[in-house]
Amino acid sequence: MKKEIIINLTFCFALSLVTAWGQKSVPENHLQNLPNNWSLQINHPISYLVTTTHYDYSMMGPFLNKTQITGQYTRTSEDGTVRWNQVEIAQAHDLEASFDTGLPQPVMEGFSYVPSEKMMEAANYSDFPQDATGHLFRNLVWDMMGFEFFAWALPDSYPLNLEYRPVEANYKIELAGEGTFENKDIRLTWIGTTQKNNQPCVIIKFSVMNNPLSMHSEHMKLKGRSHYWGNIYVALNSKQIEYAELYEDVIMNLKMTGQDESQRLNTVRTIFAEKITK
C-alpha cells in the first residue's frame, strides 16, 4: 500500500476551458499571427489515446517504481461533452522493463462530463475508489482539461514567438476536497507551424514552474512542488488538438498515517495525447 500511494501522487495543471472563437482559414507558410475569429470545428466525435507514465524515485535518485495509465478520451460534440473508455493501469518495478497488459478499470468506462471548473468538485467522483487509483482517474480528467485550456487560450491574431501570460489562470485550485494545487505563472508561446496527421498545425509551447501542492487525507499528508512544460499541436483549419505532450517533475514530502518519519520523494511524469485517426 505504501509503495502504491507513492506511485500515484502527482498532480495536474491548469484546469478550466476558455470559450472558442469563430474560424478563418489561413495558409500555414510564413504565418506571423494566429487566425482572427478562429473557432473549434467538430463535425464528428474526436478521440485520443492518452498515455500517462509516472516514474517514482527517492529524493537522492534511486528508482522505486513506475505506473502507466492509458485510456481513450473522446470529445463527442460541439456542446463540449467528453467521454472516457478503455482505461487501463499497469505497473513495473524495473526502470527499463516494458509494461505488461494493463488491468481494465470499469469505473472509468463511459465516464462522461462537460469540462469546467465544476470538475474540481468531489461530488463528481463519488463512484471512484477511495484508494490511490482514485488520484490517477481524477488526473486523467484534469490533465485533458489543462491541454485544452493551453490549446485555446491564446487571443485572436496573437503574434508568433511572443510569450503570453494569462495571469487570471494563476490561482490555487481545490483538488476535489483532498488538497490544493497552485499554478504560479502560466506561460504560453506560439513557436511555429508544422504538419501533424496531414493537417497544418501551430505549435504552442507551455511552461508552468514552481507550483505548490498539498494533500491531506486520513491516510497521509503531503507537501511539494511541481514544474511542468510541453507542446501542443493545434490544427489551423479546425482548432482541434492533433497532438499534445507534457513533462512534469514533482518533489514532495510525504507522511503516511502510522509512520514515524516522512519520506522525501521525486516523481517524473509524462503525458502523451495522440489523436486517433482512421
pLDDT value of position 78: 66
Asked if residue 171 lies in contact with residue 181, where contact means CB atoms within 8 angstroms, the answer is no
pLDDT value of position 137: 95
153 three-state secondary structure:
coil
Q: What mean pLDDT value characterizes the chain?
A: 88
pLDDT tens digits, 132-149: 788 899 999 999 999 999
Record the cell numbers describing residue 244, joined without a space.
Answer: 499534445
Q: How far, in Å, CA of 99 to CA of 165, rounded?
A: 38
Task: Tell me the residue type at 56.
Answer: D
Measuring CA to CA, which residue among 162, 159, 247, 243 is closest to residue 195?
243
pLDDT value of position 21: 33
Record the cell numbers describing residue 112, joined without a space.
Answer: 462522461
Compute the Cα dihedral for 14, 17, 22, 25 and give only its sign. positive
Q: What structural domains and CATH numbers belong to the chain?
A: 2-275 (2.30.230)
Residues of the chain with pLDDT under 50: 1-28
What b-and-e string marks burial along 82-91, b requiring 16 or more CB atoms within 10 Å of the CB?
bbbeebebbb
pLDDT tens digits, 72-84: 999 987 678 999 9
Q: How far, in Å, CA of 38 to CA of 156, rounded?
A: 7
Asked if residue 19 lies in contact with residue 40, where contact means CB atoms within 8 angstroms, the answer is no
